[in-house]
Structure 1
Amino acid sequence: QWFNQDTDMEVAPQIQAHISEKLEEPMHPDPQTFDDLKISNPLVQCLRAHKILKPTEIQRLAIPHILQKKDCAVIAPTCAGKTLTFLLPILQDLQQSPEHYHTLILAPTRELAYQINEQFSILCAVFNLFSSLFIGGQDILQQNGLLEDGFYVMIATPGRLVQVLQSRPREQIMQRMQKIKFLVLDEADQFLTGSQQFNDDVSFILDFLPKAENRQTLLTTASLSNEMAEMLHGSRFQLIKTEKQLPVNLKYKFYVVPQDFYMSTYLIYFIEKITGFQIIYDSDLQENTSKIKNPSFQQCLIFVNSPHQCELINRVLLKFQLKSTCIHSILKMEQRIQNINSFKTRQSQFLVATDVAARGLDIPGVELVIQLNTSGTVEEFMHRVGRCARGADEGLIINLIQVGDALRLRTFEQKLGIQIKNITEIEDFVQNGKIQKINDEFVVRNYFAKVIRAEKEIKVEMLDQNVGLKLQRKGK
């Protein structure tokens, strides 16, 4: 429906090769500045005020095509600057002709939509422009009013926008939405190849917009899946892609945890040894303290696979007096934003998260990502590790896995062209950087009893607070 084509599912590798051949060179022979990219002087000055001095590779490649009103599919790794790649041309067009109902930007998660809205608000402040944010967890009546009052840019998650559109007379909504000039699908692979609900919601929204030939459509993603490649093959989209898939400044490690019920135990062990946090326990777990000696990593992001595990691990870290917070789909939106900001401002040094934090979120300063059981697909793996070492920082990825996950990691290595090394020894920053071999018997003997006792207490607390019941009701 979106691309007017019917492509054989078995030709994905050939399509990927075709896409690589179709990549375009930038219009300017060698654009090194935003001036070279024909960005207006007021916007350039605004960027300089925020210390954004040079365009990134994907911005140099894509912005000239977007300014020429081409439909573009922009594929670049996390931290490549994709958000500015579409915001700058939109702002430039708005600066020249500030019209209401100008742009619709769809994002797959509330957190990403909120972040895009923040970035747009910073850039557009000097131009007297404004955006409207339509996401779940906020007052839908107020959002109905925003649609009535008008906006320059609407930033939304599909589910909430569908609710808003359904709450108003269709003809009235059509009159407004038919004015849209730009449509952006950020993290487009989620919309194109994700759940059927995403597909249905986006299709419903597209029915309100001008036809494809009467608007400009931009797709961005960090990972080009075979399914998305098939959809784009032969379509109207100009395909623009950078060479690298992941930041080059990452080191990848893994360790096979003997049994799944030891996962929290090994997490605490690795946190203590690698980050430089020295966790001191007392016999009653009442006065646990954590001290920093020669900290190697200041900010650590821990990925888990379910909201229940997210709550449990976060509370384990808090039990040992580590400054931790968490984010998952069951938390209210206000709490999610508060927790993310706590991590961004370094009030919290650990963020335990499900995949709601894996896409698009820009959290500078994350030097360490730990995965408890690896992600299911190579795309999920890319997005998770892409939260680390954003910009020029270096980063370390540690995968705590079970034996059955090892083959999946090898598949990720082959597809991404990386090497994930087994951890056989560890540098103990608490003991003055001494190198020591990892001994499973030592870890279990010295850590397991304390961690399992903490977990039992936490599970009782969660039961008393109906936390587990709330998670179960949500079907998570």
Structure 2
Amino acid sequence: MKMNFKELGISEDIINTLKKTGITEPTVIQKESIRFIKNGRDIIAEAQTGTGKTLAFLLPIFENISVNSSAIQALIVTPTRELAIQITEEAMKLKEAKDINILAAYGGKDIGSQMKKLKGSIHLIIATPGRLLDHLARKTINLMNLKTLVLDEADQILLMGFKNDIENIIKETSKKRQTLCFSATMNAEVKKLAYRYMKDPLIVTAKKEKITLDNIKQYVVETTDRQKQDALCSVLDEDKPFMAIIFCRTKRRVDDLEVDLYRRGYDCVKLHSDIIQSKRERIMKSFRNGDIQYLIATDVAARGLDISGVSHIYNYDIPESAESYIHRIGRTGRAGEYGYTCMFIDPKNKRELEEIEKAIKFKIQRRYI
């Protein structure tokens, strides 16, 4: 279905601002949801990172906000600080077209400056659950005039144990609000939460773009946990990637690997939830700018991050599920470019590997070093 932003009801000013960032055509999720969101419909959308889901809800929110009102009209709740920052960056680009007052409220950022900003007029809040509840308890945020509530990465919100927090937040909003639920997977838990708080929601699915996996060369290196580090370094020396993410299962594994790779002279930095927020922001900015070659991260820290320029993904530890594997490697091979991924497994990972191969209907090629 060929459709442009104008036909979706997006104003010229916003269309021109999108053009400046190189966005001229709406993605599948945008085509299927923008008009309904703009018209006030509740939506449950199954969409992964890289499908354009952030603009799918930001564009109609910008269209519907009245700058003449001083009330908080839209709230986007997201599981991680990194995702809150990323959505805020997208929203700030649109400010050029419509001067909406935006507040990013997440832990690690000075609450005093957030409270000061809240004394003015705020139209849109992008928040993590904990910090938002903190503001609600202090009565610095009033959500009773809220028009639109977005739960972004709803599956992760639940996985990270924020279910009660979300329910407490919803209690503070108007019953007349519009609710949008975006999730990479639409499991029973997500549906249960969504249906409890939504009115006749429209279900939208952005089909997982098969091109993502087709464009990615996938390899497996069979090794042992003891030899894994040497195997990784051999592969890095052969590949010499421009920008790469190395995934580990735990924060401890990330810490240990960063120390060892740094000692060996690799240009690397770690990213996980124990690192203070201001430092995480600096790390992400440096990585996005291409100042760092290797980002060593946990799944949670990298969830939802859409970084252009990542040519290689290395799974130092095998992901916990086939879905997590697809999610990790989908960060490369974007926009028609070729991507490359390599996973390191030891003998005890045999069953997990078989499950991944079964899910992607593909036997991953072995790489010998």
TM-score under structure 2 length normalisation: 0.92
- Partner of 2:97, secondary structure, is helix
The alpha-carbon distance between structure 1 residues 254 and 98, as it changes in their structure 2 partners (threshold 3 A), is farther
Identical-pair percentage: 30
228-237 vs 393-402, which deviates more? 228-237
Residues in 2 aligned to 1:120 and 1:418: alpha-carbon distance in whole angstroms: 38
- Partner of 2:65, secondary structure, is helix
The alpha-carbon distance between structure 1 residues 424 and 302, as it changes in their structure 2 partners (threshold 3 A), is closer
1:128 to 88, 99, 110: 99
Residues in 1 aligned to 2:92 and 2:8: alpha-carbon distance in whole angstroms: 22
C-alpha contact 1:223 1:382 (8 A) present in aligned 2: no
Q: Which residue is 1:368 aligned to?
A: 312
The alpha-carbon distance between structure 1 residues 97 and 71, as it changes in their structure 2 partners (threshold 3 A), is farther
| Poorly superposed stretches of 4+, deviation over 3 Å | 95-99, 229-235
- Partner of 1:177, secondary structure, is coil
Q: Which residue is 1:251 aligned to?
A: 217
Q: Letter of the aligned partner of 1:263 in structure 2?
A: K
C-alpha contact 1:62 1:85 (8 A) present in aligned 2: yes
Q: Which residue is 1:178 aligned to?
A: 144
Give structure 2 stretches of 5+ with no counterpart: none
Once the 2 structures are TM-superposed, how far is the Cα of residue 105 of structure 1 from its aligned partner? 0.4
- Partner of 2:358, secondary structure, is helix
Once the 2 structures are TM-superposed, how far is the Cα of residue 390 of structure 1 from its aligned partner? 2.8
2:46 to 68, 75, 87: 75
Q: Which residue is 1:89 aligned to?
A: 60
- Partner of 1:146, secondary structure, is helix
Residues in 1 aligned to 2:180 and 2:70: alpha-carbon distance in whole angstroms: 19
Residues in 2 aligned to 1:233 and 1:137: alpha-carbon distance in whole angstroms: 32
Q: How many correspondences in the alignment?
A: 365
- 1:331-346 aligned at under 5 Å gives the runs 331-346=275-290
TM-score under structure 1 length normalisation: 0.72
- 1:301-340 aligned at under 5 Å gives the runs 301-340=245-284
**Structure number with bigger Rg:** 1
Q: Letter of the aligned partner of 1:264 in structure 2?
A: Q
Matched, 1:63 2:34: yes
Q: Letter of the aligned partner of 1:89 in structure 2?
A: P
C-alpha contact 1:143 1:164 (8 A) present in aligned 2: no
The alpha-carbon distance between structure 1 residues 185 and 72, as it changes in their structure 2 partners (threshold 3 A), is same
C-alpha contact 1:358 1:380 (8 A) present in aligned 2: no
C-alpha contact 2:72 2:145 (8 A) present in aligned 1: yes
Q: Which residue is 1:224 aligned to?
A: 186
Cα-Cα RMSD: 2.1
107-116 vs 323-332, which deviates more? 323-332
380-389 vs 98-107, which deviates more? 380-389
C-alpha contact 2:74 2:125 (8 A) present in aligned 1: yes
Q: Letter of the aligned partner of 1:185 in structure 2?
A: L
Residues in 2 aligned to 1:389 and 1:424: alpha-carbon distance in whole angstroms: 19
1:403 to 325, 332, 347: 347
C-alpha contact 2:248 2:316 (8 A) present in aligned 1: yes
The alpha-carbon distance between structure 1 residues 207 and 148, as it changes in their structure 2 partners (threshold 3 A), is farther
Q: Which residue is 1:452 aligned to?
A: none
Q: Letter of the aligned partner of 1:363 in structure 2?
A: I
C-alpha contact 1:134 1:156 (8 A) present in aligned 2: yes
Residues in 2 aligned to 1:420 and 1:336: alpha-carbon distance in whole angstroms: 36
Matched, 1:241 2:185: no
